[in-house]
Amino acid sequence: MLMANAKSEAKVNTGSKEPWLQDTDDVLRDFDVARKDGLSSSEVSDRQGRYGKNLLREVEKKSIWTIFFDQFKNLVILILAVAAALSFIFGETVQGFAVAAAILINAIIGFFTELKAVKSMESLREMSKVTTRVRRGGKAQNINARELVPGDIVILEGGDIVTADLRILEANKLQSNESALTGESMPVRKQESALEGDITLAERANMLFKGTAVTRGSGEGVVIATGMETELGEISELVEAAGEDLTPLEKRLNRLGHSLIWVTLAVAAVVAALGFVRGKELLLMIETSVALAVAAIPEGLPIVATIALARGMMRMAKRNALVNRLASVETLGATNIICTDKTGTLTENEMTVTKIVLESDEIKIAEDGYEGSGGKIDKPSESLEKALTVGVLCNNASLSEVRESGDSASIGDPIEVAILEAADNLGYRRSELLERMPEKREEAFDADTMMMATFNESNGGFLVSVKGAPESVFEVSTRVLSDGEAKSIDDLDKWQKLNNQMAEDGLRVLALAYKESDDANENPYEDLTLIGLMGFMDPPREDVKDSIGLCHKAGVRVIMVTGDQAVTARNVGRQVGLVDDEDAVVMRSSELHAVEELSEEDKRKIIETPMFARVSPRQKLDLISIHQENNSIVAMTGDGVNDAPALKKADIGIAMGKRGTQVAREAADMVLKDDAFSTIVAAVQQGRVIFNNIRKFVVYLLSGNAAEIMAVGAASMANAPLPLLPLQILFLNLVLDVFPALALGVGEGDPHIMQQKPRKADEPVIRWSHWGFIGGFGLIIAASGLAAFAIALGWLNLDLREAVTISFLTLAFGRLWHVFNMRDFRSGFISNEITRNVYVWGALCLCTVLLLLVVYLPGPAEVIQVTPIGLKRWALIIPMSLIPWLIGQIYRSIGGKQK
């Protein structure tokens, strides 16, 4: 559904040049608006008719009924539905209702576990529910942001949400936080002058974008795009276009379903052919074919798979990972590529002062304090004292407000906050300094000078404190502070080299300088004394390095995909253990061409590259597609609006719960409540355990089903009575098998599983070796059941119903004991993952009670056509049912020694 009609595609044709390449007068002329007056009411009405409301496109909500009916879109369910229909057609009403109940139970479990609306686009639309201050008809007024039209003059102040794409007309110390859109961790300084050349989104300094926020200053802008034509609107289209593919587990279960269809048809065809050849009655042939069809399908498989995955979701929730889709739990275990954003995912998104370089000392700052060449610093030198004083005074942040809110990113500039925090560690507090040295004048940061200055009263005059870009401060400094004394600068090249070295180390660098003056109106940017350089680091998250190390051991590649610059990406990559080489390859966005333009060699280079910089949202989608085409299972982590399309396109989208935008959380398959990279590792481990558990219970279920097919098929070919009847098979498959299989599905798994490589992306749930195991033990279980059946009929001369009861119980208990054959080869005979699983013992006790009830209670016994038996008959049932277990334990023990 479209929130606005086709006319809402609101971007005015501005001629041959984009707005950011034009002067402000040219932009206003193209939009036919006067800055001092704005649009008139008639012009607004006309443009709303042409361009529609300033709204994003809304995707149709997924209804409750759609979610419910989606539970039936499964091949195994389809097969069961056909079996139920055949049962009703041929008068087997009880059997038909039993199969239908199995289908309904699975649907109900899946429905209540996976109940979730698709809200990605709703989250994006929330950004439009704000007011905007505009100038219309020569007057400033607040309007609903959805009423904005191209050509509106918007008035902005610090803290405002930008509600449309704007070309800036005036910028007064204007900065915006665009990290959610571009990945840039620092607030971006804005300007009004035109730009030149091929400018990327992150470099459009004279533009403001819908969905971002003004963090500082004030300004005005003209709306150039609204609704779906904004950069945010383009991302929303990418989210919608990315689509949702089936997860690997769903694909594997569908492949298994296809296999079962052919098995079922083959079995039915063989039985039908034999029946015709032997001249059997049509009704008997139909009953036997239905029995075999029911035996071929593991009715408990969908239920057990659903509950096992739901159990995995609950386990992950306890580990701070919220999973939105059931099958996503298992997909995590197959992940071999994690594409992760840098800002806020690998790093804290908080600036920290880590180094101060003075003329006579280099000081490192860590959590435990300051350390210079002479060791730990308790009392600062005169030069360090001057550096901290200047940094605190030439500052607009407030540390007390930051600490009260607990969110440094929302108060002032992160660099200024970092300076206050570093100074506070040595007792230099802004409030106390301002009390002694009141501020007389501030020279705000200027884009031309790249510096900021303050004049504070001191000793009857003024202390002029300056901070700014090192190159700019160097140019206006004539002296340098050395051991508390101002001396002539003899070697500026030395300072430039220090600046370059700090930048290469991944630090953001500012220079500090000062002078003393008697005139508060004096030019602050001349004849300064250089104090030194201050380096800032956006620190890596504490747990990231260990988590990435665990990923490497587990065969999972971690790839950084960031909107930040290449040198920063490389240094962060080294710090977190993503790469070891100082010259590790970082591929820039300019090197990433459209997928259709890439050669195989280009794709190979992209696949091998560990870090990508200045990447756009569409390029993130291309990166994921390239890795997916290379048979990789790709997980994507992120927290910003720009991550949403990739989160949805990836096999597993992982959003940050604390720092993540609502858009990212709704687009993701999993949300990390603690934003910890280590939680991803735990989720991957749990995903691997769950897949192995699913494989175990599928093998367990199919072994029993194979035994039923062989037993019934052998009796049919021998023209003998059936040892199992259709409802008995259904009882075994739907009731008796489900509980041991569930117990296998919730097992703790191998504790060393993260030391193994990920399985291949196309690896089926059941490999050929597993089919051999299924066939072999199906034959052994069937043989023990048929042997008990033959003894009951031939040697004990029991009637057919009692003999069928004995074969039914023998096969039932044989399948129960078979659960112990699911242990790993290297595990012990007494102590292993199966015997330590309390759920297994509980399932065995429950199933034993159910078997006794169904045999000895008249009602159930009559329905499934069994009869109560005496204790002597158990002397035959128990030994015969233990034969598969005994052979299985011998097989596991011998196989374990050979591994």
Annotated catalytic sites, by residue? 341
Tell me which residue of 175, 212, 171 sits closest to 414, measured CA to CA: 175
> Which residue is it, tokens 């598969």?
884
Pairing assessment for the beta strands 634-638 and 652-656 based on DSSP bridges: parallel
Describe the crossing of helices 768-790 and 800-817 by its angle, rounded to 10 degrees.
150
Output the CA–CA distances (angstroms, integers) from residue 810 to 570, 706, 718, 788, 879, in the order listed.
65, 15, 20, 7, 9
Q: Provide the phi-psi class of 99: left if phi over 0, else alpha when psi is between -120 and 50, else beta.
A: alpha
Tell me which residue of 688, 668, 678 sits closest to 325, measured CA to CA: 668
DSSP assignment of 570-585 equals HHHHHHTTS---TT--
**Contact (Cβ atoms closer than 8 angstroms) between residue 97 and residue 113:** no
Of all residues in the chain, what percent are helix, strand and coil, respectively (each to 5)?
Answer: 50, 15, 30
CA angle 432, 437, 442 (to 5 degrees): 110
Q: What's the length of the chain? A: 899
Give the Cα separation of 280 and 287 in Å (integer): 12
Pairing assessment for the beta strands 528-537 and 508-517 based on DSSP bridges: antiparallel
Q: For residue 729, give the amino acid letter.
A: I
Give the Cα separation of 231 and 225 in Å (integer): 9
Give the Cα separation of 157 and 175 in Å (integer): 10
Output the CA–CA distances (angstroms, integers) from residue 8 to 11, 19, 205, 661, 811, in the order listed.
9, 20, 26, 25, 68
Pairing assessment for the beta strands 352-358 and 362-366 based on DSSP bridges: antiparallel
| Residue 856, SS3 per DSSP | helix
Q: For residue 870, give the amino acid letter.
A: G
DSSP 527: S
Tell me which residue of 31, 26, 44 sits closest to 132, measured CA to CA: 44
SS (H, E, C) 722-756: CCCCHHHHHHHHHHHCHHHHHHHHCCCCCCCHHHC
